[in-house]
Structure 1
Amino acid sequence: MPLVGERRARLGDQHALERMAARERVAHEPLALQQQPLLAPRADRARALERRVVLRADDFVRHAERFCCGRAVRPDRARRIASAPRAHRSMSQTQPGRVTRYDARIVHVELLSGPERGRVRPCVLRGRLFEERTQAKNPVAVGDVVDVSLDGDPPGIESVHERKNFLSRVASSHDPRAQILCANVDQLLNIASVAKPKFSSHRTDRILAACRWHRIEAVLVLNKVDLCEREDLVDLCATYVEAGVRVVQTSATDGTGLDELREILSNKVSVLYGGSGVGKSTLLNKLDPSLKIAEGRISRYWDQGRHTTSFSQLHKLSDGSTVIDTPGIRVFRLHAVTPVELRMLWPEIARESARCTLPDCTHDHEPGCAVYAAVDEGRIRATRYASYLEMLDELTGRKTDEAEAAPEE
């Protein structure tokens, strides 16, 4: 009877352990030993553990090339790695790293310390990062500083450090969560072409508003200026200079503005963001030919670019600058912004709104609206005001966004 009572007590403890959340469970033995080996004497459990370690070592040897990035591993070394004591393979042994690429479920991380400092390792998400559903679609993004555990194949990301800043958007029309596009950047360069494809004030204004929302310094880069009439270019520049945005004119064809662009990027972490086909990858190749980033072509029928960059990637230029190249976008919606907060993301609208008759004026239809009067008098550009109204309609639900039908990135 005492033996039966002891077994029932141990089974009860095991059931309680299984009901416990994974992140709270402290497993002193492999989960494979939960059933019959759990009720066996200690010597039998030890032999079962030894057999499991040997099987794991044999499996590791058979797949050594896949686990070790194509490099062959001697069987004796593989067996030593697989049978290393658990105390030396603790999940608490982590190293800091920076995410350089996030492609599907694989996260590429550059290690920032230890003997492998500077090496980029493919990693996977572990623990809470993988299991929990949060307000963000992706728990990590390019530019994040993370803690990496090297005790696995592949290594795992255990946690993400607190971010200095980040840029996000609504993931898709079917997923209202935030998609984190990049993190811990010093500035964002909004790349926009003035021709082929034509300039989009709608997209540009949204990205600039997102930068103000996330407190990221923004620079508007007007690319392909060699294809635009001078008068049109002057008027376009004036529109955004009046809004307090720094504007740079560039052309990868004749080299216009490349020196100024190189100076802006110097000693900073920058993200290049814009539509498809505006020339982000081409500009980077001009700044540093060793990158050899694939460049796309413009569709003659649609007058827009095709995706050549399918994921965000961090690059280090030859002069020491750090740049994040992002995929071209067609749809951009701000995440977690209210109509009241939206007004403050347009500096010229925020400036004129102090003279509105109504304190809660939305600058849409109210009588005595100073913003509407400023648009009528030319103090606020009509294209900027139109972008504001379009985003306001989206937030208040008065409009079915035409972008819903556009393909997502």
Structure 2
Amino acid sequence: MKLSASDLSAIEARLGARNYKPLEVTLTRGEGVWVWDIEGKRYLDCLSAYSALNQGHCHPKILAAMTEQAQRLTLTSRAFRNDQLPLLYEDLAKLTGARKILPMNSGAEAVESALKVTRKWGYEVKGVASNQANIITCSNNFHGRTLGIIGFSTDPLAHSHYGPFAPGFKTVPFGDFDALAAAIDDNTVAFLVEPIQGEAGVLLPPAGYFQRVRELCTKSNVVLVLDEIQTGLGRTGKLLAQEHEDIRSDLTLLGKALAGGFYPVSAVLANNDVLDVLQPGTHGSTFGGNPLGCAIARAALRVLVEEGMIENARVQGEYFMGKLRALESPLIREVRGRGLMLAIELHPEAGGAYKYCERLRDQGVLAKDTHVDTLRLAPPLIIKRAEIDFICEALSKVFD
């Protein structure tokens, strides 16, 4: 017997922990930029699983790589070598110029790895006194949900009633260079920051900010860690968002689209010797660098480049931004973003963005709100102009 959407929602309500408030739509199939619910209605996915689906739903070449590898070898642990991990290393190094790479699974694991390795580097290389290292982060950050990470979150929903938290973190306002400069001291080992704050509402720093940050971190012997888990791999119209200011981080964190939505794969990329402080036994992951994940990630990177998705994100992103700025509605306070990482912030009197996501759903477009008043728009990077027109027509009806 086929269960209805209400039947499935009832099972979730009865058995599932209520840590999410999903939009009321039950999906069963996806292809490219489109998804279908169990009643057969089609929607344009304008969230891309928080940018994990840059390559679109069920990309056939990534699916083929996954199927082939799953029939050969899925997991060895790092106790033994496998024939896919070295090739992923090579692909990432050629694409990004990274000197060393640490494979992990989730984005949060990549962030935790960066926190551990920069502290270890601080003690063993920079010469910080034992247990005195500090790491600077930004207000309104989102780097994951682990206990270590939420300890430096400024979002009350993320950290309330989870303490006590680990010490050793300082918080400065995002985009405030003077505050960062004032916060750095002799014990500062790293500055962890998103090039664009996605969960905060697609917030961009002032122009030239990251060039000044790069110079400051170099001068102060501080590791610059850029969390590109959401902004990386083409989302902003460049392979990495840091390229917009022509800088290179010391550590770059990748995840989400690294496996095209097929598997959790993340990586810490080092442009210097920071990762050299890791020795056998000091850090690890049973599934990190597994052959199945590596084969999938290699295919995901390949199609991203060979099929021109990064350039398409730039071109279509400019077109999309123009269409959004042409929307005429007193409800809209600001339109902002870069590439296909866009947001519409509404005035408070609009009554919150969630109800507009519900109205968009009824028009065949799936998007999600963040920070109450902001509507995020991040379709797969394969989107075409006609599909952007479809989204904007839906937006016009919703805001009319």
**What's the TM-score bracket when you normalise by the shorter of the two chains?**
under 0.3
Task: Please give the TM-score of this superposition, normalised by the length of structure 2.
Answer: 0.21
Task: Please give the TM-score of this superposition, normalised by the length of structure 1.
Answer: 0.21
Higher relative contact order (CA 8 A, sep 6+): 2
Q: Which structure would you say has the larger Rg?
A: 1
